Amino acid sequence: MKRISTLLLMGIFIGTLLSLTGQAIGASSIAVTVDTPPRTMHPNGSNADANLSVMSNFFDGLLQRKGSEGKIVPALAERYEHPDLLTWKFYLRKGVKFHNGNPFTAKDVKFSFERLSNPEVSEFINTGKSIASIDIIDDYTVVIKTKQPIPWFANNLHQVYMMDKESTEARDEAEVGVKPIGTGAYKFVEWVKGSYLRMVANKDYWEGAPSIDNVELRAITEPSTRFAALVSGQSDLVSGIPVELYEKVVKNPKLEVVARPARRAIFMALGNEPGSPTADIRVRKAMYMAINEDEIIEKIMRGHAAPAAQIPDPPTIGYNPDISRLPYNPERAKELLREAGYENGFDITLAGPNDRYVQDEKIAEAVVKYLAKVGIRAKLDVKPKSIFFPEVSEGRHKFYLFGWFDGTYDMGRSYFKLIHTQDKEKGLGEWNAVFSDPSIDALLESTGSIVDQGKRRKVLQDLNKMAMVDKIAWIPLHYQQDIYAIQKGKGIKFQPRPDRWIVLKEISK
């Protein structure tokens, strides 16, 4: 026993000595805390924004989205042409080097796009499979042909990261998945899963070296711990401040809060199976008007949301400023129900996730209560997202809470997934097993070949109005708000992006 305690004491003593020699954090470093951990270092191994956000620091796409506007601008491709509906021609930037020193050329582009179809390393199977051919014209010119016209093809290219063909092929996949080599503004240093990810500035970055040298990124999933990390000064920049702790952060003199409207809209999908009460447009309208969205925003979201009248957000092509919310009017809702022959109400089940969106379960509970006030007996069925989402695409729910935003800033792709009549063969309507309207389908299909941005905007806006106003395809609720906090007095300049990514080269100190 005595021996053990001596050993222990010695251990502690040596440990203290060792820690004194540990490196001090220099002036140009930042500790960032996010709410969702990165899953993999395969650049295209996850299409979750939490992962793409981290990868955007190690890798570049052919194009990129910049700053608070999210405008798409050139990155590894200096420019591109779209000579016909199926063809995309990219002129690559010269003189770009991967972190291992290899030059970036057309063969890397071909390799990276071909990799997208491999489910072992990619979640961009949909993008990979939509490509018919990739031709290398010369070292710095690539032509990609898609199988079908995809008007939003280029809009998505900030998410498809370019990998080094040579080193990726030479290394074991397990190693590629933990040690990324890209062209990005930051080089990978160390990833201790569940703890931190360290990176260091790439001094030879083609856009110029980033302002901050050393970055330590941590993910803390537990909101109260994230809050403690912020208040105790361990973190310089924290994303995902929970709405219930917002007031506390604002009151803290050491902290600065940055909030911006999020792109994600929260809404309720509602089936229109012939014969069901919700097939009647009057019932759909009544349900819409029965919900007091202002109260949801005030009481449940604590003011951190903006009412939505449609699914796309303002910067998205297809957003229609002329659409406004139906007013909250339970009396009118009751009248409408009476007209439709449901003066005694009806039974319905409201499903939803309980671990996906801000206050998701509470919102669903509130909706159930609002519906009860007009006589609709709604049963609540909330469950974890890993169970809920598959059930949605199988069509097990007829009425459910959902959230969506499209990384391409083009409503077209989203509408094909969300509202087109489900067609397993053609791969349409994966997230819509319950709503079907031939006129929406027809108009939507006609947009598939419109590439001209002006025309596209017009048609998508019309389509949007048709879905939201004429058909009440969904009951929109609100856009969430993204809330960040930074330590004051450290000179950190940070502008949140619409997609919630933390792109470190855009942060300066």
Partner 1 sequence: MVTYITRRLMQGIVVLLAVSFICFIIFRYAGDPVHTLAGRYATFQEQEMVRKAFGLDKPFYIQYTRFLANAAQGNFGKSFVTRVPAFNLILERLPASIELATSAIIISFIVGVGLGVLVSLQPYAMRNRLVMAGSLFGISIPTFLIGILLIMVFCVYLGILPPFGRGETRMIGFWRTGFLTWSGITHLILPAFTLGMYQLAVLLRLTRAGMREVLTKEYIKTAWSKGLPPRKVIFKHALRNVLIPVITMTGLQFGELIAFALVTETIFQWPGTGNLLLTSIYESDQPVIVTYIMLAALIILSLNIIVDILYAYLNPKIRYD
According to CB under 8 A, which residues from 151 to 190 bind partner 1? 173-174, 177-178
Q: Spell out, one character per residue from 28 to 57, where the chain touches partner 1: x when CB under 8 A holds, - when not.
A: ---------x-xx-x--xxx----------
Which residue among 6, 68, 133, 224 contacts partner 1 (CB under 8 A)?
Answer: 224
Q: Min. distance of Cβ 117 from partner 1 in angstroms? A: 9
- Burial letters 179-196, b for 16+ CB under 10 A, else e: ebbbbbbbbbeebeeeeb
Q: How many Cα neighbours within 13 Å face the side chain of 204?
A: 12
Q: Assess 127 for contact with partner 1 (CB under 8 A).
A: yes
Closest to partner 1 by CB, 180 vs 210, is 180
Q: Which stretch binds partner 1 (CB under 8 A): 84-92, 279-287, 385-393, 437-445?
A: 385-393
Closest to partner 1 by CB, 100 vs 148, is 148
CA–CA separation, 150 and 447 (whole Å) = 10
Q: Spell out, one character per residue from 399 to 418, where the chain touches partner 1: x when CB under 8 A holds, - when not.
A: --------------x---x-
According to CB under 8 A, which residues from 440 to 459 bind partner 1? none
Q: Min. distance of Cβ 397 from partner 1 in angstroms? A: 15
User: How far apart, in Å, are the Cα atoms of 49 and each of 5, 46, 209, 493?
Assistant: 49, 8, 24, 22
Q: Assess 125 for contact with partner 1 (CB under 8 A).
A: yes
**Hey, how many other C-beta atoms are within 10 angstroms of the C-beta on 441?**
18
Q: Assess 192 for contact with partner 1 (CB under 8 A).
A: yes
Nearest to 443 by CA among 463, 421, 457: 463
* Residue type (1 letter), 281: I
Report whether 265 contacts 313 (CB < 8 A). yes
Q: Assess 432 for contact with partner 1 (CB under 8 A).
A: no
Which residue among 6, 11, 101, 495 contacts partner 1 (CB under 8 A)?
Answer: 11
CA end-to-end span of the chain = 52
Report whether 188 contacts 180 (CB < 8 A). yes
Q: Write the DSSP symbol of residue 195.
A: T
Nearest to 441 by CA among 425, 431, 456, 429: 429
> Where on the chain is the footprint of partner 1 (CB under 8 A)?
11-12, 14-16, 18-20, 22, 37, 39-40, 42, 45-47, 119-121, 123-127, 129, 173-174, 177-178, 192-196, 218-222, 224-225, 228-229, 231-234, 355, 384-387, 389-390, 393, 413, 417, 424, 427-428, 430-431
